[in-house]
Structure 1
Amino acid sequence: MEAVINARFLTLITLACAVSACASKPNFKPELATVAQVADTLPAPTAADAAPRQRAPRIGAFDKLTVSVFGVPELTTAGTVDASGTFNLPLVGAVPVEGLTSAELVADLRQRFARYVRDPQVNVVIDEAVSQQVTIDGSVTRPGVYQVSGETTLMRAIAISGGLTDDALKREVLIFRTVDGKRMIARFDMNAIRGARAEDPAVFGNDVIVVGSDSNRSLFKDAIQAAPLLSLFYILR
């Protein structure tokens, strides 16, 4: 079982680096690492960094949409997805849209409008994506990809995933982030954050959060040696 868990975490670290064309096994060289940010303020991604990469964006709460049906202008609706992830439309009412791509929503709405319009040609445009996707994995209760809206921090992100498991290494929580086109990694101590001894860092769309555990301690050793100090971001070479 431990071998399976260790293999999973090695894959996690590899995939996190592969997003920015890192090698299959990260080559962490502290002497070559470039400090991107020191102290409590972490570098935020640029607009280009935050854009979804090679995948269709998924709709989230508070995103702004425009839905139209060709030839039926009275059905055109521009509005905001509510906090429950639904979008209100004429005739069909509140439609669950959170987590869907625009293409998936088009297919759903064509079926719904077909009861009122013959062969409806539906178009969905995401005018403004307020929500963001964050990957949370490792020793958390519910690992997965989550939609987060507005300002989010590491503690809030961990809470969204159900909190840390009993075997989580609270002092070894990693955030992988792309800033200005460069892949970076930081290590954080949840004990220090919860005890107000360290700032709760901001989390942005496309961040990958990985929480270590006793069973994968050795796998994280190589990863975190490039970022030995809290709140130091280093470029992965």
Structure 2
Amino acid sequence: MSHSYAKPLSIATLTQFFVLATVGLTVWTAESRVLAQVSSPAPNYRPNPGLAAADNMNVYLLGPGDSIQVSVLGFDEYKGLPPQVILPDGTISIPLVERFVVSGKTVTQVKQELTRRLSEYLVDPTVEVQLTNLRPLTVTVSGEVRRPGPLQLQPIPLGASSSTGNETTRSRIIPTLTQAIAAAGGVTKEADVRDIIINRIGVNGVSQTMTVNLWNAIQSSSSNQDISLRDGDSIFIPKATTLSQGDQKLLARSAFGSPTVKVRVVGEVKRPGEIEVSPDSTLSSAIAVAGGPTDKANLTRVRFYRLEANGTVNEKTLNIEKLTEPTQIEDGDVIMIPKGDGYRFLDAIGTVLGPLGAAAAFIRIFQ
């Protein structure tokens, strides 16, 4: 049996909520790590790290720190050339072409221009250019993520196996949108992943704006919208204007949500304080991670507090011994386990009568 109501954020209620929220902070325990590992994974889309369409390599802009391999078929002086690391000034050097600017160009553009330049010295050169190593990408993620700000994303090395087991194509080296979201700590429960905005500088230096919908990825396990990123991309995740509780839970349990949530368990538990658990954890499992109830706990009147987006505190009194269905927890929830009535009575006597002890004082009342 439970009683639930939402009320305006009065000073008394706000004080009560934040006093509870700041009591007895503790370090994340080993038990919480175990719980996060054994909790059932969400049956939603999990992004494939590094997944990018092969044709995206045709629009990847080279820059300092990238490495490219240049060869010219039929000419020994170009056989076995080591990979060329693009210098800070954006250039590489090969025989007959010194300080050749490649920064800001695609691999295809470099191949075409090298062919033209070498044609001045060689007869019908067949030039091959291969990207052998990618520099880290710097992007900015803002909006409804847990750690907004600039990020440096490391690419998956060329030749690394994909999550499908045996593919080693170039299409799996560029960091993607979902990798950036994960690196930013995941989205908040109010994020609108249907309308993610990406601003980037295009091949010709023209600013481009794209809108990406990742909601379909959650519902259908499709990765079509998990686009590859470019250096300098700016990603903005807006706040949803309307989002049902069901959608919020689905989002929290998806790969776009935070891998853990923080809740506070105070009162009659063995390790009161802040804990971290997986997003699909329940009230009962959070109490278990906090060490479980003490012998003095009253589990029939557990207080459960949640600060809603509209500024109200949702407060429930739960009898967790008779719950018919699990109570899902969310980031920022506060759980308070009170003492049983008998123990509160003894504590009150002990406070009044001091060192005599609560048990002795209780006996003397009836003598």
Q: TM-score, normalised by structure 1?
A: 0.43
Q: Which has the larger radius of gyration?
A: 2
The structure in which a higher percent of residues are strand is 1
Q: TM-score, normalised by structure 2?
A: 0.29
